[in-house]
Amino acid sequence: MQLLLAYQAAQQFETHLGLPAVAAQYQQQAAQLRQTVQRKYWDDYRRLYADTADKTSFSQHANALAILTGTVSAAEAPALARRILADSTLTQASLYFTATKVKQGATT
């Protein structure tokens, strides 16, 4: 998911630099990665994104990044956010991660 954030940021940078062809490449890579994440890491039973392809590990981190990257639709994001806050079996986000992502979200 962090690579997806990087692709999205690169696409924005290239757009602002006036390089639409390069921006389009990053946009395409981001779209492909988003599809791969959805296919490999979404768990229909738990309705969460897993940390691993074998779906044995789940965290707030992966699911928060799914929201921030738009991997989960805007319509589904509130429900996912409620699930990641309510599910105590998930690996909890560190204070650093939480503060950094809130700050990034507030500036974009």
pTM of the complete model beyond 0.75: yes
What pLDDT shows up at residue 74?
Answer: 94
- pLDDT of 5 > 70? The answer is yes
Residue pLDDT, tens place only, 57-100: 999 999 999 999 999 999 999 999 999 999 999 999 876 666 55
Neighbours of 50 (CB within 10 A): 19
Spans of all domains in the chain: 2-107
pLDDT (mean) for 9-37: 97
* Non-local CB neighbours of 71 within 8 Å, separated by 6+ positions: 1, 4, 34, 37, 38, 49, 65
pLDDT at position 94: 77
Average the pLDDT over 43-50 and give the result. 97
In this structure, the number of other CB atoms found within 10 A of the CB of residue 69 comes to 19
Q: How far apart are CA 37 and CA 77, in angstroms?
A: 16
